[in-house]
Structure 1
């Protein structure tokens, strides 16, 4: 059986990038923490009132994911080609594959989805949202991490590229 774990490879973790931690340690660690976070995360999801991007748990990993033993491939967004993320992924010892990508123009974002403050933040970051742009924002320390996550929801929900469109 194959399982897909989605993560943000260029977001900050332990003084570097999540993908660098994977390459260095050979182990996946959820960016939500371990089992000790489950009660808090469940309470937040139950109280949110938002859509499935807030309320679903895509995967709950109860034990470590060992890259060498458990991973067939890491699949990256094309915005990470020729970057530190791709270089770190190449050190994982598994295949590196590419999906069609995510990008969304900020001028068409609907404030009714997450709120005007997140549309304003998205527009302050650039004309087009991409995963690497949001990773830059997350690492900068200039923005509330939850606010960047809300902007990421716009990208995840409305920015899926069609095969061959990038």
Structure 2
């Protein structure tokens, strides 16, 4: 269970780091004069200069600054190959981003399934323990009842002997004697 907690903490830290990097990339304020410059005019400059505008996409091999194709989630290969496309940060390419997010998603799903499995297993073990406890209590109660019944029977027999009303036949009526 400690391994699952460590894994969960690692995943949360990794997600926090990713959100922090993404937020940092999106909140960096460009200079006022660079906002109005279209992406195409920033071609043949640098990646960092191109990505000052959030709507721009940098293609490394061609050194082109392009408008991000907003109709697609990922830029098509005809615009720029995923391995060479940069958006938000110059050091993050789309291919590595997709692989990382897929692995993260898989790890999160697997950890959720492991947690659910562990919880269900613990619940079943707990139910088995409760069932065994109830069964032990029932057996103990029955044995106490049996001991009390035997003790009562012995007391009744002693009283019958004392007053001479012993029964030879336990099914016979008392006033037949």
TM-score, normalization: structure 1?
0.22
Q: Which has the larger radius of gyration?
A: 2
Q: Which has the higher helix share?
A: 2
Q: Which has the higher contact order (CA 8 A, sep 6+)?
A: 1
